[in-house]
Amino acid sequence: MADLFEYAVIRVVPRVERGEYVNVGIVLWCQPAGYLAARHALDPDRLTALDPYLDHAVIAAHLDALQRVCAGGAQAGAPGSLSAGERFRWLTAPRSTIVQTSPVHSGLTGDPDGELERLISLLVERPGPLIRNALGDDGKPITH
């Protein structure tokens, strides 16, 4: 059975005034499954392309803190005492900081862990080569 889930893309915005960012992770909440987790995959080359002076250790510390908030408890500080849903909303609230999240999106899944991995692969990790001309002149997929 598929359950409703919500997610946001975690972004690093090295210079907020420029509005440029790199997708570095996903935070996913599935209330019916009692699931709240985040995963990140930093690509130093992509981050350095936007800001060669960026302190990657600071970014990693911010992302580790985000994962602690997902886990909840005392190690997460004040947000750690909130419910999972409240922590998700706290994490995805709009911010003008170096680590931000996208607007929240939703979907259906029977496997929140698998969905988190799928979203990391789709939205965070470097894409594979672009397949050009995958559609014929009639707009239909080429099957040969």
With bands split at pLDDT 50, 70 and 90, how would you rate the model's confidence at 30?
very high
Bridge partners, residue 22, by sequence: 12
Question: What confidence score (pLDDT) does residue 127 get?
Answer: 80
pLDDT at 132: 57
61-102 confidence digits (pLDDT tens): 999 999 999 999 999 999 999 999 999 999 999 998 999 999
Q: How confident is the model at residue 142 (pLDDT cuts 50, 70, 90)?
A: low
What is the pLDDT at residue 46? 94
CB count within 10 Å of CB 22 equals: 21
Please report the pLDDT score of residue 131 as a whole number. 58
Cα separation, 19 vs 120, in Å, equals 22
Q: What is the pTM of this model?
A: 0.86
Which of 114, 105, 108, 86 minimizes the C-alpha distance to 32? Answer: 108
d(CA 86, CA 92): 10
Enumerate residues 6+ apart whose C-beta is below 8 A from 47.
12, 14, 22, 24, 54, 56, 59
**pLDDT tens-digit profile of 110-119?**
999 999 999 9
